[in-house]
C-alpha cells in the first residue's frame, strides 16, 4: 500500500492513498457515520454523493453492535463498499473522561471488523489543560502507539499514529517527531475540535504546522473533526490530506444551513443561496413545514453537498496552482480566517521550500498579506543567494513598474531603454537597468520574463505595507551589490517618497552617489530627457 502524490500547491497535495478496499484520492472528506443516528444511509453517500470513504466510531460499534459487526464486517454492517476509517473512542475519552475498553481490545476489534484505516486508542489532550497534563497525554499516546506492533496481526490495514499536545506546540512537535519514527502509514492531529469551534484558526495554524514540520512528508495527515467547509482550504493548504466531519449532520439537527462561507439558520432564510440537487427542488418555506425528521434529512443532505463541493473547489485550485488565491478569497468570509491567513507569514520560509517553482497560470496579488506567498519569498531569497549583477555594470538605473509586462517590453520602458542604448553605444554595458515593482521588489531586466515575474496581476493602489516591502528590497539589493552610482526614476503617484527616501539612506551609508528624478508622470518626454541626461552624466563621470 502506498501514498502517491500527483499535484502540489503550497503544502497541499492531490494524492492517491491505497487501501485494501480501494484507492482514495486526497484531499478527501470522510463523513462521520453514527450507526445509531444517521440521517443519510452510507450506501446513499456512495451512490448519490460520490463519497469514496467515510469514518465511523469503532468504540460505539463495539459497545452496541459488537457481535453483529464481527460477524458481518464493518463494510456489510454499514452497507458501504468504499473505504472505511475507524476511530478508536478517543473522542469519548475527551467528552466523558474514560471508555470501557483498552488499547489492545480496540485494536483487535478494528482488525476483526476489517477497517481499512484504523486508529489506536490515543489519549486526547483537549482544550484548556495544563502543560503537565498535555505532556501526560503525549507520553501515554506514544506508549500505546509502541504497543501496536505487538498487538496487531494483520498487515493490510493502514494504522493512524495520532499526534497530541494540543496548543502546547513544543509538545506537538515532540509527539510528531516520536510518531514519525514508528511504522504508521497515516498520522492525525489530535485535539483541534475546540480550537475550530471557537474559531481560533491562527492557533490551529500553529498546531498543524508544529505537527507537519516534524512528520514525514510522504505520510498523509488526517485532521480530526474538521467541521465547517469554509476552513477546509486553510487546513489543506497547510498539508492536511484527510478530514472527518460530523458537522453536516450535527448542524442539520440544529436547523443550521451551511454555505461555503458560513452558516445560516433555516428560520432566517427566504431563499436558498444554493443550486445543489437538494435545494434546487424546493424553497425554505416548504422545508420549514416538513416534519422534524424530514427537515433534518434535507439539511444533512444539503450540508454534505456543500462540504463535498468545497473539497472539489480546493482540488481544482491545487491543480491550477491557484490555492493561495482561493485561500485569500475564502479568508474574507470571516475575520478569524483572515487572521489565520496572516499567521502564515510566520511559516513563509517552510511554505516556500515545499511549493512548486512553476505553475499552470499567473498569480494574483491583492495586498500585503500576499507578501508571504512562496513565490515572493523565493524571489527574494534567490536574488540574494543566486544572482550577481552584470560584470561590467557600474551604474544602476532603477525604473518604476509599468502596467504592461514584461516591464522592459512595455511601451514606456522600451522607449527609455532604446534611448539609453542609442545614446551610449558601446558604453551601454556600464548601465544596468532594474525595475522596482510590487510585490517582488527588484526585478533585473534580464530576469523580467522569468516566471512569475511577468505572469501576475497586482491590485492598485498599493497598500503601505507593500510599498514599504518593495522599498526595503530595493535598499537591500543595493546593499549587496557593487554599483558605483544609482539613478532612480521615482513614480510619486504610485510610490510617494518611500522608495527614494529608503534608497537614499542606503546610498549614503555606502557613499554611493544617487540621482533621484521625481515626477508624477515618469514616462513623459521631459522626464525621459532628464533620465537620458542623468545617465550620460553618470557615464561621463565614470569615464
Is the confidence at residue 13, as pLDDT, over 60? yes
Name the packing angle between helices 103-113 and 131-151 (round to 10°). 50
Q: Does residue 14 surpass a pLDDT of 90?
A: yes
- pLDDT band for position 1 (cuts 50, 70, 90): low
Residue closest to 183 by CA, chosen among 146, 133, 150: 146
Q: Kindly report each contact of residues 361-364 with a partner whose C-beta sits within 8 Å and lies 24 or more positions away, as own/partner.
A: 361/320, 361/321, 361/322, 361/455, 362/452, 362/455, 362/456, 362/457, 363/322, 363/324, 363/325, 363/452, 363/455, 363/456, 363/457, 364/322, 364/325, 364/328, 364/456, 364/457
Structural domains for the chain: 3-320 (3.20.20.105), 363-542 (3.40.50.10630)
Q: Which tens digits make up the pLDDT trace of 167-186?
A: 999 999 999 999 999 999 99
What integer is the mean pLDDT of 344-354?
Answer: 97
Rounded average pLDDT over 299-308? 96
Other beta carbons less than 10 A from residue 528's beta carbon: 18
Q: What is the pLDDT of residue 541?
A: 66
Under a CB-based contact definition with an 8 Å cutoff, are residues 60 and 36 in contact?
yes
Find the mean pLDDT for residues 278-302: 96
Flag whether pLDDT at 3 surpasses 90.
Answer: yes
Torsion angle in degrees (nearest 10) through CA of 351, 355, 359, 362: 10
pLDDT in tens, 42-89: 999 999 999 999 999 999 999 999 999 999 999 999 999 999 999 998
Is the peptide bond preceding residue 27 cis, with omega within 30 degrees of 0? yes
Share of the chain above pLDDT 70, in %: 99
Phi, psi of 113, rounded to the nearest 5 degrees: -90, -5
Res. 543: pLDDT tops 80: no
Per-residue confidence at 429, pLDDT binned at 50, 70, 90? confident
HSE of 293 in the Cβ direction (CA atoms, 13 Å)?
2
Where is average pLDDT lowest: 24-28, 36-40, 344-348? 36-40
Report, as residue numbers or ranges, the catalytic residues.
87
Q: Is residue 474 within 8 Å of 485, Cβ to Cβ?
A: no
C-beta neighbour count of 36 within 10 angstroms: 10
Longest Cα pair distance anywhere in the chain, in angstroms? Answer: 95
Q: What is the DSSP letter of 358?
A: -
Q: What is the mean pLDDT of residues 513-519?
A: 92
Is residue 239 predicted with pLDDT exceeding 90?
yes
For residues 489 and 532, is the Cβ–Cβ distance under 8 A?
Answer: no
Range 12-24 average pLDDT:
96
For residue 406, the model assigns a pLDDT of: 96
Average pLDDT of span 410-434: 90
- Taking only the tens place, the pLDDT of each residue in 482-515 is 999 999 999 988 998 999 999 999 999 999 999 9
**330 Cβ contact partners less than 8 Å away, ≥ 6 residues apart:** 230, 233, 234, 261, 337
- Name 509's Cβ contacts closer than 8 Å, sequence gap at least 6: 479
Q: What would the pLDDT profile of 92-149 be if each residue is shown by its tens digit? A: 887 777 788 999 999 999 999 999 999 999 999 988 899 999 999 999 999 999 999 9
Rounded CA gap, 421 and 443, in Å? 19
Q: Which residue is it, cell 470571516?
A: 334
Q: What percentage of the chain reaches a pLDDT higher than 90?
A: 86
Average pLDDT over residues 298-302: 97
DSSP-assigned beta bridge partners for residue 8:
13
Amino acid at each position: 500500500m502506498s501514498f502517491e502524490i500527483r499535484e502540489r500547491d503550497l503544502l497541499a497535495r492531490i494524492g492517491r492513498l491505497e487501501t485494501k478496499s480501494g484507492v482514495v484520492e486526497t484531499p478527501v472528506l470522510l463523513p462521520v457515520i453514527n450507526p445509531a443516528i444517521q440521517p443519510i444511509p452510507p450506501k446513499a453517500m456512495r451512490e448519490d454523493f460520490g463519497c469514496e470513504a467515510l469514518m465511523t466510531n469503532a468504540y460505539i460499534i463495539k459497545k452496541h453492535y459488537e457481535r453483529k459487526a464481527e460477524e458481518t464486517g464493518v463494510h456489510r454492517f454499514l452497507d458501504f463498499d468504499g473505504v472505511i476509517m475507524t476511530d478508536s473512542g478517543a473522542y469519548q475519552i475527551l467528552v466523558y473522561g474514560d471508555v470501557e475498553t483498552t488499547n489492545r481490545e480496540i485494536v483487535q476489534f478494528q482488525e476483526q471488523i476489517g477497517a481499512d484505516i484504523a486508529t489506536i486508542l490515543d489519549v486526547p489532550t483537549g482544550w484548556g489543560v495544563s502543560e503537565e497534563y498535555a505532556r501526560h497525554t503525549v507520553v501515554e499516546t506514544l506508549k500505546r502507539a509502541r504497543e501496536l506492533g505487538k498487538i496487531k496481526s494483520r498487515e493490510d490495514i493502514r494504522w493512524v499514529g495520532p499526534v497530541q499536545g494540543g496548543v502546547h506546540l513544543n509538545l506537538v512537535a515532540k509527539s510528531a517527531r516520536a510518531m514519525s519514527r514508528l511504522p504508521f502509514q497515516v498520522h492525525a492531529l489530535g485535539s483541534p475540535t475546540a480550537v475550530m469551534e471557537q474559531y481560533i484558526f491562527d492557533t490551529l495554524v500553529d498546531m498543524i504546522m508544529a505537527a507537519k514540520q516534524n512528520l514525514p512528508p510522504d505520510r498523509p495527515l488526517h485532521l480530526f473533526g474538521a467541521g465547517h467547509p469554509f476552513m477546509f482550504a486553510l487546513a489543506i493548504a497547510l498539508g492536511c490530506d484527510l478530514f472527518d466531519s460530523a458537522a453536516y449532520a450535527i448542524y442539520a439537527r440544529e436547523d443550521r444551513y451551511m454555505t461555503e462561507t458560513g452558516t445560516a439558520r433555516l428560520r432566517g432564510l427566504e431563499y436558498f443561496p444554493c443550486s445543489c440537487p437538494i435545494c434546487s427542488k424546493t424553497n425554505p418555506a416548504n422545508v420549514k413545514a416538513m416534519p422534524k425528521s424530514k427537515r433534518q434529512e434535507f439539511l444533512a443532505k444539503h450540508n454534505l453537498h456543500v462540504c463535498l463541493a468545497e473539497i472539489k473547489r480546493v482540488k481544482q485550485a491545487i491543480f491550477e496552482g491557484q490555492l493561495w488565491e482561493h485561500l485569500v478569497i475564502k479568508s474574507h468570509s470571516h475575520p478569524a480566517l483572515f487572521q489565520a491567513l496572516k499567521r502564515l507569514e510566520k511559516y513563509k520560509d517552510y511554505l516556500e521550500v515545499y511549493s512548486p517553482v512553476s505553475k499552470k497560470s499567473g498569480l494574483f496579488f491583492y495586498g500585503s498579506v500576499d507578501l508571504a506567498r512562496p513565490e515572493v519569498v523565493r524571489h527574494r531569497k534567490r536574488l540574494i543567494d543566486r544572482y550577481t549583477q552584470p560584470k561590467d555594470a557600474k551604474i544602476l538605473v532603477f525604473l518604476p513598474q509599468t502596467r504592461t509586462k514584461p516591464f522592459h517590453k512595455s511601451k514606456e520602458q522600451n522607449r527609455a531603454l532604446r534611448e539609453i542604448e542609442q545614446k551610449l553605444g558601446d558604453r551601454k554595458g556600464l548601465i544596468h537597468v532594474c525595475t522596482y515593482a510590487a510585490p517582488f521588489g527588484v526585478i533585473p531586466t534580464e530576469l523580467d520574463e522569468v516566471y512569475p515575474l511577468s505572469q501576475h496581476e497586482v491590485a492598485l493602489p498599493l497598500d503601505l505595507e507593500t510599498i514599504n516591502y518593495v522599498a526595503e528590497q530595493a535598499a537591500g539589493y543595493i546593499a549587496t551589490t557593487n554599483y558605483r552610482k544609482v539613478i532612480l526614476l521615482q513614480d510619486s503617484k504610485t510610490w510617494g517618497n518611500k522608495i527614494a527616501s529608503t534608497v537614499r539612506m542606503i546610498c549614503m551609508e555606502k557613499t554611493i552617489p544617487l540621482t533621484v528624478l521625481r515626477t508624477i508622470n515618469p514616462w513623459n518626454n521631459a522626464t525621459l530627457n532628464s533620465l537620458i541626461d542623468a545617465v550620460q552624466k553618470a557615464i561621463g563621470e565614470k569615464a
